[in-house]
Structure 1
């Protein structure tokens, strides 16, 4: 894609209004019953590639910063969140050791090269406070090698193991790594009713069958 306009058009076309509402319901459950365990109410959070703002809207934190290169992203954020239209490797508006928890979902695969991935990880490491966490949810090329390429803006395939190496090289110690966590996409035929999503989170056995995204948590 050659322009911001292309990026806006791609994401406006990718998800229907119904799919956006369904995603929002899913993320409410994910944040409430899973991701909130990593975020204290007093924390300062950075939402990287915030997209449609589902994480920021449903996580409880004292302060939320969000970055994206899509101008549309800012309008999806909750009141009080601070949005910056900037790439994730240029977090110049944040000082060193200022973020308790950084989060991203389905972002690193959109970067053009592994060098670009390294640049993002090093910048995240810079802004995290000592013992701060970087929580990342990513499609796992090991288990999603077919459907991975069904999205035009996917460029850099990563497995849970290659991503763990990248984290360690950037100075982030991997403290948790789940190779199979969530299904590949909300566009799948799997049921997405909030009660069923909550049940899925509680049944780790099911992750081994349906999980095609990995969860990695690095600590500074």
Structure 2
């Protein structure tokens, strides 16, 4: 992430937006169950919300500095350094897997598809994959200058999730964001 992006994601404004707007909308009407995996929590704004909603939370983060930060901030969370496209976790382990505003940081559509397949693998039967990501606009593009930004098209996401086995796929779009939900049969 570039400096602007890092500064934004650490800001009180972002934390408040996540807590009061993004997470309530994304998780509306959802029961995540008892054992939840969060992929790509970054600086932990979303982890801060999840920790109060679920009994057992595991986080997988690729950036070593963020892993250290998350481990210090959230001692009750099992924080693992790893890649969401190569999860170092056993099959059928989690009632839900989440990822929030991070899919566009995955370096290619093929890697995103591997992340979807890995998510499917580690979910228990009937488990949920729930998340949120951004749709491109001028502000979004500016924040991501010289940054990895592989935007996920919410119109093709259902086919991509179905290709790895997900069912009951639901995408809800706004002008700037979209949330997704899918179930492992």
SS at match of 1:50: coil
Which protein is richer in strand relative to its size? 2
SS at match of 2:141: helix
1:45 equivalent in structure 2: 36
1:167 equivalent in structure 2: 161
1:114 aligned to which of 109, 121, 124? 109
TM superposition shift of 1:137: 0.8
Query: Is contact 1:168-1:174 (8 Å) kept?
Result: no
**Aligned counterparts of 1:160 and 1:105: Cα–Cα separation in 2:** 14
2:84 aligned to which of 78, 83, 88? 88
Query: Is contact 1:148-1:154 (8 Å) kept?
Result: no
Q: Structure 2 vs 1, CA of residues 103 and 17 (structure 1 numbering), >3 Å: closer, same or farther? A: closer
**Aligned counterparts of 1:117 and 1:157: Cα–Cα separation in 2:** 10
TM-score, normalised by the number of residues in structure 2:
0.83
TM superposition shift of 1:121: 0.5
Q: Which moved more, 1:70-79 or 1:107-116?
A: 70-79
2:178 equivalent in structure 1: 214
Q: Structure 2 vs 1, CA of residues 96 and 113 (structure 1 numbering), >3 Å: closer, same or farther? A: same
Q: Structure 2 vs 1, CA of residues 80 and 16 (structure 1 numbering), >3 Å: closer, same or farther? A: same
Does 1:97 find its partner at 2:92? yes
Gaps of 5+ in 2: none
Q: What is the aligned residue count?
A: 176
Gaps of 5+ in 1: 1-6, 181-210
The list of structure 1 runs, each at least 4 consecutive aligned residues, that deviate by more than 6 angstroms after superposition, is none
2:45 aligned to which of 54, 59, 63? 54
TM superposition shift of 1:133: 0.7
Q: Structure 2 vs 1, CA of residues 90 and 37 (structure 1 numbering), >3 Å: closer, same or farther? A: same
Task: Give me the CA root mean square deviation.
Answer: 2.4
**Aligned counterparts of 2:166 and 2:79: Cα–Cα separation in 1:** 25
TM-score, normalised by the number of residues in structure 1:
0.71
**Aligned counterparts of 1:26 and 1:135: Cα–Cα separation in 2:** 18
2:56 equivalent in structure 1: 63
